[in-house]
Amino acid sequence: MLASVERKKIVSVSCCNQVLPIVYSDCGEGFPLLYLHGWGQNLGAFGPLIDALPLSLRHIAVDFPGFGDSPKPAENWGVPDYAEFVHQFIKKLDLEPCIIIGHSFGGRVGFRLAHKRPECVLGLFLIGAAGIRRKVPLRRRIRIKTIRGIARAAARCIPNPIGAKIKGSLYNRIASRDYKEAGAMRGILVKVIHDDVRDILSSIQQPVTLLYGSDDSETPPETGRQMHDRLPNSDYIELPGFDHYTILTRGRHQIAHQLKNFLQKWNATS
């Protein structure tokens, strides 16, 4: 375990009519940076990056509800609910305003937070940010529609449990890895992947830096370029040779360098 995230803390956060015990890490002192991890990950994903940064900055990384050691919400949250959770977490720890550092799903949540609660966010520093729905090729759309039709027909016409088993087997042929692995979080995942932030980007006035790995197939660089075109105050940076995950590990020193440049906008100690 990396030193930056090995000492975990717990705080009770009230959101969406429930109180959740939320696990987070907190190290360093000074300018607050709040780290929001990607789908299927946890606060440990930022360990290598935080360890590459000085402790003259305050680094707070959180396990989203339903990830890591934080419990799943009672209801199936959408991205706006997760954004409101982050707002309540920021208030609880008295971090307002802070810099949001988000990876993938964490970037999607960061956009929603900056739009709905701009007073909480000084700026967004986003790595492989998700948020724009990718166009599905026609051939794949036809395949998905066909298999879904066959699966539903099997479930209707063949008695359980055989019909249900056939339906599940067919659905697994078209499901994404995240969907297959989501388990109890599947209802939340469905809401998340249908969330598209394009309509709100033009209203986000805070400075935004978008970093993408050139080899990222999960959130391709084209996603970042589309976001950059819509954001009124953004920089787009593409780092060669990194994919969606290695950008946080092998690419940590390059990200740390870009983050230090970003923080100079507020004369933050780096």
Q: Nearest CA to 79 among 108, 121, 101?
A: 108
Specify the DSSP element, H or E, that contains 228. Answer: helix 221-230
Architecture of 8-133+194-266 per CATH? 3-Layer(aba) Sandwich (3.40)
Q: Residue 162, class by beta-carbon neighbours within 10 Å (0-12 exposed, 13-18 middle, 19+ buried)?
A: exposed
| Sign of the alpha-carbon dihedral angle for 153, 156, 157, 161 | positive
Q: Is 94 helix (H, G, I), strand (E, B) or coil?
A: coil
The vertex-134 CA angle with 128 and 139, nearest 5°, equals 140
What does the pLDDT read at residue 269?
Answer: 52
What does the pLDDT read at residue 1?
Answer: 44
Residues 22, 63 contacting (CB under 8 angstroms): yes
AA letter at 241 = G
Q: Nearest CA to 50 among 63, 59, 42?
A: 59
For the chain, give every domain's residue range: 8-133+194-266, 138-184
Other residues' Cβ atoms within 10 Å of the Cβ of residue 144 = 15
What does the pLDDT read at residue 270?
Answer: 44
What does the pLDDT read at residue 61?
Answer: 98
The vertex-247 CA angle with 242 and 248, nearest 5°, equals 160
Those residues of the chain that have pLDDT short of 70 are 1-6, 135-138, 140-141, 144, 167, 170-171, 173-182, 268-270
Residues 228, 234 contacting (CB under 8 angstroms): yes
Q: How far apart are CA 123 and CA 78, in angstroms?
A: 23
Q: For 16, what's the count of Cα atoms within 13 Å in the CB-facing half-sphere?
A: 18
Q: How far apart are CA 119 and CA 136, in angstroms?
A: 36
